[in-house]
Amino acid sequence: MDILSLIPTHLTSQKDRFYASSVCRHWRRTLQHGPLWTQLLLRKGEDYVSTLLQRGKGSALDIITHCDAPAGAVMLVSPRAQQIRHLGFTLNSWLDIIMFSQFDSGQLPLLRILEITALETPNSQSRHNPLASTSISLFGGSIDTEKFFLSSRRLHFLRHFVFPNLTTFVLSSYPEVEWSASCLLNFLKSSPKLWTVEVNISAKIELGGFRRERLSSFPMSRHSPCA
């Protein structure tokens, strides 16, 4: 019976886990008390998120959110901010990203992986954009974040991120306007433990007093410390 009870722990699909929990009381007990409900897709709604949070107990969480995630589902996660281990934004606005970064006063001590694919509209650069202020720090309490994946046209927003223990940084960007490479260089400098860096940019880049050039790609791959 002990061996049979372990079968549902090998199910990789949460949909299959939901079905398996109805097979018998042994499987139900195994699924309800095991750390198998840690990946939450917020766009699936409040009932789904609430159920998984209850079953996940105090386990570290992998949160994937989307621009159409219900506000109620997002707020259910807020009290569990200190359990978030992996946070992924899929086509979210920067306002959504700011809101998450302020959960629990920005204290996300378990956050190890941050992935951002920003949804950017013409309003992203408006004067009402809160990121126009240089004083805003995003995920400032996540000092142990190790991997940061960013896809955004607003490369100057890098100034709002500081991850002193970052080891992996992957950047993809196609800026609409000319930008200064100093924002990227300053970010890399603030992450002395970087080991792997991959950068792909298509833009007009200004390097101090040097002439500007149109770059179709700007790949950089480094597998040694960037300090």
* Beta strands 84-92; 147-151: pairing state: unpaired
Half-sphere exposure of 83 (CA within 13 A, CB side): 19
Give the total residue count for the chain: 227
* pLDDT of amino acid 4: 62
Task: Give domain status of residue 84, yes or no.
Answer: yes
Same domain? For 131 and 27 the reply is no
**How far from 98 is each of 15, 140, 172, 181, CA to CA, in Å?**
31, 11, 20, 24
Task: Give domain status of residue 109, yes or no.
Answer: yes
Whose tokens are 């009932």? That residue is 47
Range of the domain at 121: 38-222
Same domain? For 30 and 118 the reply is no
Task: Give domain status of residue 95, yes or no.
Answer: yes
**Would you write out the chain's pLDDT as a tens digit for each of its 227 residues?**
466 666 666 566 666 666 666 667 766 666 665 556 788 999 999 999 998 898 777 889 999 999 999 999 999 999 999 999 999 999 999 988 998 998 877 789 999 999 999 987 654 454 456 676 667 889 988 999 999 999 998 888 999 999 999 999 999 988 866 677 888 899 999 999 999 999 988 876 665 555 555 444 444 555 544 43
Task: Give domain status of residue 192, yes or no.
Answer: yes
* pLDDT of amino acid 196: 92
Distance CA 62, CA 77 (A): 11
How distant is the alpha carbon of residue 180 from its chain centre? 25
Same domain? For 77 and 17 the reply is no
Same domain? For 99 and 61 the reply is yes
Task: Give domain status of residue 227, yes or no.
Answer: no
Same domain? For 61 and 142 the reply is yes
Distance CA 21, CA 28 (A): 4
Same domain? For 69 and 168 the reply is yes
* Beta strands 203-206; 213-215: pairing state: antiparallel
The answer to whether the beta carbons of residues 148 and 169 sit under 8 Å apart is yes
Same domain? For 10 and 112 the reply is no
pTM over 0.75: yes
Task: Provide φ and ψ at 161, rounded to 5°.
Answer: -115, 135
Same domain? For 3 and 112 the reply is no
Distance CA 86, CA 38 (A): 10
H runs (alpha helix) in the chain: 2-5, 14-20, 25-33, 46-56, 71-77, 94-101, 182-189
Same domain? For 29 and 105 the reply is no
Task: Give domain status of residue 191, yes or no.
Answer: yes
Same domain? For 16 and 94 the reply is no
Same domain? For 108 and 218 the reply is yes
The tally of domains found in the chain comes to 2
Same domain? For 30 and 42 the reply is no
* pLDDT of amino acid 80: 92
* pLDDT of amino acid 205: 62
Distance CA 73, CA 20 (A): 24
